[in-house]
Amino acid sequence: MEKFRKFMRPQRAPGASVEQLSTGHTFRRWRSAILVGGEEKELVPQFPPPEPTNELIKEPQISSVEPLLDLGTIAITRTWKNLPQEIVDHIVFMLRNDLKSLKACSLTCKAMFVSTRRVIHRKICLTWERNWDLLTIPEKQKYIRGERQDIAVRVLSAIAAHGLLPYARHLYIHLNRNFTTANLQPFNDHFQRFDRIQELSIYWLHTPDFLCGNFDAYFQNFVPTLRSLHLDTPTGDTRDILDFICRFPNLDDLTFKMGPGDPRDWRTFGPLPVVEKMPPFRGRLKLGNIDERCGHTIQQLISLPGKRCFRFIDFRSCTSKAEQPIVDACSSTLETISTTWGRFRKWCSIL
């Protein structure tokens, strides 16, 4: 048994350094990065050549087992803070879906703070709950009375005051029915600073408000970079809604959900908008609560001449008569179809 124990111990040749036992360059590179005197000597294995002998091969005599790494004697002066910022950014980006870890990382040092800040505030939420929390009691009383022009989008000022606007890539707007031009006008300077938004989600967009000259005044800064547009319960004429969608020429993904109530705003069906450049629509189409008539209109939109080809379609609580024409319109490029049986409240939260 004792012989077996000795045999199972880590073995190394007498006089051989730790580096000589490491199998690759990884250990040496790591050591030179963190230890004192990062200069690394070229380590050449110096095992003596085996001498020919006629004696029987003996088991190696191990008098004492040395630890591979003596942490007690290592003085660490270089840390991962010496890593280039790009590498820190890359590491932090891998945690992009773990907000708790990102917040913890942001408290460690300046390098991580800078890096995590971009990721944490990648998605900016303009919600009425956050806005409500920022209001004073007199302002809340005004809000309840319906005098909301200067306070309905106050949250935008708070976000701007913290310098978070340049980090935003995904903007989520859920201000109920307060997202109007009149309410947004006092804060439009801040709104115009969203110039790198790639994904825009809006709950209850009254599209006629933001068309004609108002589109350039409020949404022109989104045009060059916007790739995904999610509209939950938009209101207005069909033509207006489609007109709004088609003003973003780089759209790949489109989410479109009708409200749970009656689709009265869709009763008016005007002709499809005429735009210079139709969006490519090369990504994902998510539709919720779409009935036959709405489906037909969307089918017309994606059937217009040009290169428009959704690869993924996700139907949520749509009628089969609405789905079929859309599937047919995208049949040449469609790769994945998701659909539902029955109606699911949970799955209807489409944004």
Partner 1 sequence: MVFYPLTQSRSKGTVDEKGLPLNLVNVKNLRSFTLRVDFEDIRYPYEALSQTLHTITSPFFSEFVLEVGRVFATREPTHGACRWWGTWTELDKMFEKLAMERGFRVVIRAENLDREPNLFSQAENRLPLMAARKGIVFEIGPFPEK
Is residue 240 at the binding interface for partner 1, with CB under 8 A as the rule?
Answer: no
Is residue 150 at the binding interface for partner 1, with CB under 8 A as the rule?
Answer: no
Contact string (CB under 8 A) for partner 1, positions 98-127, x = contact: ------------------------------
How far apart are the two ends of the chain, measured CA to CA in Å? 66
The two beta strands, 228-232 and 253-257, are parallel
Is residue 228 at the binding interface for partner 1, with CB under 8 A as the rule?
Answer: no
* Pairwise CA distance, residues 151 & 147, whole Å: 8
Is residue 345 at the binding interface for partner 1, with CB under 8 A as the rule?
Answer: yes
- The dihedral over CA atoms of 140, 145, 148, 154, expressed in degrees to the nearest 10, equals 10
Is residue 337 at the binding interface for partner 1, with CB under 8 A as the rule?
Answer: yes
Which position among 45, 80, 321, 349 is part of the footprint of partner 1 (CB under 8 A)? 321
* Pairwise CA distance, residues 114 & 94, whole Å: 15
We find the least distance from the C-beta atom of residue 342 to partner 1, in angstroms, to be 4
Residues 267 and 291: beta-carbon distance below 8 Å: no
| Strand (E) or helix (H) holding 174 | strand 170-174
Q: Which is nearer to partner 1, 4 or 341 (CB)?
A: 341
Is residue 28 at the binding interface for partner 1, with CB under 8 A as the rule?
Answer: no
Is residue 328 at the binding interface for partner 1, with CB under 8 A as the rule?
Answer: yes
| Strand (E) or helix (H) holding 173 | strand 170-174
Contact string (CB under 8 A) for partner 1, positions 277-316, x = contact: -------x----x-x--------------------x-xx-
Catalogue the long-range contacts made by 80-88 (C-beta closer than 8 Å, 24 or more residues apart). Answer: 81/109, 81/111, 82/33, 83/111, 85/111, 85/114, 85/115, 88/112, 88/115
Q: What's the burial of 191, exposed, middle or buried (CB within 10 Å: 0-12/13-18/19+)?
A: buried
Q: Which is nearer to partner 1, 199 or 243 (CB)?
A: 199
We find the least distance from the C-beta atom of residue 332 to partner 1, in angstroms, to be 7
Q: Which is nearer to partner 1, 209 or 253 (CB)?
A: 253
Residue type present at position 40: E
Tokens of 261: 């109530």
* Pairwise CA distance, residues 295 & 322, whole Å: 4
Which stretch in 46-54, 181-189, 234-242, 323-331 sits in contact with partner 1 by CB under 8 A? Answer: 323-331
Q: Which is nearer to partner 1, 210 or 310 (CB)?
A: 310
Which position among 260, 267, 270, 306 is part of the footprint of partner 1 (CB under 8 A)? 260
Is residue 141 at the binding interface for partner 1, with CB under 8 A as the rule?
Answer: no
Is residue 52 at the binding interface for partner 1, with CB under 8 A as the rule?
Answer: no
Which stretch in 3-11, 72-80, 294-302, 331-339 sits in contact with partner 1 by CB under 8 A? Answer: 331-339
Q: Which is nearer to partner 1, 178 or 255 (CB)?
A: 255
* Pairwise CA distance, residues 18 & 65, whole Å: 12
Q: Which is nearer to partner 1, 80 or 344 (CB)?
A: 344
- The dihedral over CA atoms of 168, 214, 236, 123, expressed in degrees to the nearest 10, equals 0
Residues at the interface with partner 1 (CB under 8 A): 260, 284, 289, 291, 312, 314-315, 317-321, 323-324, 327-328, 331-347
